[in-house]
Amino acid sequence: MDNFAHLIYGYEKKVETCRGKKRYINFDNAASTPPFKSVMQTITEAAAWYSSVHRGAGFKSKYSTERYESARRIIAQFIGADLERDVVIFTKNTTDSINKLSHYLPWLPGEMIIFTKVEHHSNELPWQNHNHYCVPLKNNGLDLENLEEVLRKNAGKVKLVAVSGASNVSGYLPPIYSIAEMAHAYGAKILVDGAQLIPHRPIVNPPWDDPRHLDFIAFSGHKIYAPFGSGVLIGPRSLFEKGCPSQVGGGTVKGIGPQGIIWNPPPENEEAGSPNVLGAIAIAEACQTITAIGWPALIAHEKRLIRYALKQLAQIPELTVYNAQDQERVGVISFNIQDRYHRDVAEYLSAHYGIGVRSGCFCARRYVAELLSLDYREINLEKPPGMVRMSFGCYNSPEEIDIAVEGLHELVDTIKKAA
Ligand SMILES: Cc1ncc(COP(=O)(O)O)c(C=O)c1O
């Protein structure tokens, strides 16, 4: 069985536990992925030739400019963007990309935003001060009939439907292409928050004239094995030509004349200051590594891991998994153990087994609260509720799952003995 561990930089690192040194097991990939070795090698090579991009006359500057611009083309190809009409803007991360897009809302038609209950705060809070609607859940997924009804009632008034490509809480995959079709039928655009989708499934963006086309896509390098501080926002070039850039400064200005400032065209107008060249090159290299591995092998491996983990976790009666069992999803599994605070479970796995998992609300309070049947506005801030989250990367293995499950069994036994 493939597990691609040989592709990961730092995979073999050991950490101190209360039972001695153990190889670190990272089940926190939804938060951040380690770098691919290929990414490390590429940025080390590019760093030797690094110089600031665009306006330098020197060889290194021209080299770095070419690498930076070629990273845009590679990423465009990876997600099916049409560079005649779309622009690839380098940002800091998904959060930065979505905040940037929110600056352009006045230039989209309509006056309302729709987001959903499964959103990360990064795809909720930037829209909070606009007239908005949050699509509820139904049957372990989004209530798409409700979405359509709201779109119908507000036809022509909805600027944007902002939806995750995959949930960072349950791995749920909203049907983004059907949602795009629905949004377009009522005159709205769609933004896909691709932070969790990008490392797990191909984004095959249909052409512009296809109703299933995704208008905007945002994602982060650090979720796709390129953790060097870069992210991406992709969208229609014509939109980013409107108004004043979201941040102003060096690189954004073409000229200053008697009539005022003439802004550079996108993407330069949206990349104020010296850009993160190596971060951009890192993302492009990660896209190429994923393409070289091939999606079928990656998806098959992940599905095996999910199936195996769910089967093993089901052997622990005191453990509740919040994912729907029968759903197509990416490798994110959230659970709780009866009578044990989520944070304590995560600390136990770390202290005894050298396993990294995440606990809490994962910046998705609305969704987590609903899965826990709580009102998210009445949450105890001293001891916030939450879950434990195991999230898989392409390099994880069933043997690692066995170690985590052994730790969870042991913890449950300890709780029972103490009771
Ligand atoms: C679904 C989703 N959207 C957005 C983000 C924010 O990503 P970043 O912190 O890279 O901006 C995350 C991070 O976990 C996420 O899981």
Residues of the domain holding 378: 5-30+294-418
Q: Are residues 18 and 134 in the same domain?
A: no
Q: Cα separation of 298 and 166, whole Å? A: 16
Residues 113 and 192 in one domain: yes
Kindly state whether residues 50 and 161 are assigned to the same domain.
yes
Both 21 and 119 in a single domain?
no
Q: Which domain-ending residue is among 242, 276, 291?
A: 291
User: What is the pLDDT, as a whole number, of residue 1?
Assistant: 55
Length of the chain: 419
Residues 87 and 181 in one domain: yes
Residues 89 and 16 grouped into a single domain: no
Instruction: Measure 249 CA to ligand 1 centroid, in angstroms.
Output: 26
- Alpha carbon nearest to ligand 1 atom 13, residue: 31
Segment 198-216 mean pLDDT: 96
Question: Is residue 394 annotated as a catalytic residue, yes or no?
Answer: no
Query: What are the tens digits of pLDDT across the range 229-261?
Result: 999 999 999 999 998 999 999 999 999 888 889
Do residues 25 and 356 lie in contact, with contact meaning Cβ atoms separated by under 8 Å?
yes
Overall pTM > 0.85: yes
Looking at the structure, tell me whether residues 55 and 156 fall in a common domain: yes
**Contact call for residues 195 and 120 (beta carbons, < 8 A):** yes
Among candidate residues 236, 257, 291, the one where a domain is terminated: 291
pLDDT at 368: 95
Of 56-60, 73-77, 168-172, 301-305, least confident by mean pLDDT is 56-60
Q: Are residues 226 and 335 in the same domain?
A: no
31 CA closest ligand 1 atom index: 14
Nearest CA to ligand 1 atom 16: 168
Q: Give the pLDDT confidence score for residue 189 in this predicted structure.
A: 97
CA of 199 to the centre of ligand 1 (A): 12
Q: In angstroms, how far is the first alpha carbon of the chain from the final one?
A: 41
Cβ contacts of 26 within 8 Å, gap of 6 or more: 34, 356, 393, 396
pLDDT digits (tens, 9 = 90+) for 316-353: 999 999 976 778 999 999 999 998 999 999 999 999 99
- Check pLDDT > 60 for residue 389: yes
- The active-site residue, picked from 287, 361, 363, 394, is 363
Claim to verify: residue 74 and residue 115 sit in the same structural domain: yes
Distance separating alpha carbons of residues 416 and 347, to the nearest angstrom = 18
Please state the atom number of ligand 1 nearest to the C-alpha of residue 167. 1
Q: How far is the CA of 120 from the centre of ligand 1 (A)?
A: 7
| Tens digits of residue pLDDT in 23-72 | 999 999 999 999 999 999 999 999 999 999 988 789 999 999 999 999 99
Which of the listed residues 274, 291, 308 is the one where a domain comes to its end? 291
Atom of ligand 1 nearest to the CA of 168: 16
Tell which atom from ligand 1 comes closest to the C-alpha of 96. 11
Contact assessment for residue 385 and residue 418, using Cβ atoms and an 8 Å cutoff: no
> What residues does ligand 1 touch, defined as CB less than 6 Å away?
30-31, 93-95, 120, 122-123, 164, 168, 193, 195-196, 220, 222
Question: Structural domain tally of the chain?
Answer: 2
> 54 and 15 in one domain?
no
184 shares a domain with 66 = yes
